[in-house]
Amino acid sequence: MSLETIRLSQTAKDQLVWLKRHTGITHWNVLCRWALALSLRDESTPLVKEIVTDSNVEMGWRTFSGSYGDIYLALLKQRCIADGEEPTDEAVSRTLIVHIHRGVGYLHGRRELKSISDFVMLAVA
């Protein structure tokens, strides 16, 4: 597992397709950034520790993080520490994948999200 290439599960892909269709947000990376932020906001440790990345959705770290790569990396390392893990490359990669998947599930469960303004309202609530 590596930060260089982020792969998603088929379930996450299906949920992202639904989100793209219902929100008008067309890029995987944008939805995954929202998903990561939403999951990191939840202080509980994700229940799922291993994700089967069996879909054809993948993106590079630079595509995912854009110009905020250092900030996302710092957030992931901080989360590893908060969860009692050493922030090794492997732990950071696993934390990223687990939190993106949990966040995608959270977003998919919020059926009232119809636009980017709904995402913003969710973020400030």
23: nearest Cα among 104, 94, 102: 104
For 71-103, the pLDDT digits (tens) are 999 999 999 999 999 999 999 999 999 999 999
**CATH code at position 15:** 1.10.1220.160
For residues 48-66, average pLDDT:
90
Mean pLDDT of 101-121: 83
Task: Give the number of domains in the chain.
Answer: 1
Average confidence score pLDDT of the chain: 90
Stated pTM of the model = 0.90
Please report which confidence band the pLDDT of residue 2 belongs to, taking 50, 70 and 90 as the band edges: low
pLDDT at 13: 96
Query: In sequence order, which residues have a C-beta less than 8 Å from that of residue 69 and are 6 or more positions away?
Result: 61, 62
Q: What domain range includes position 120?
A: 5-124
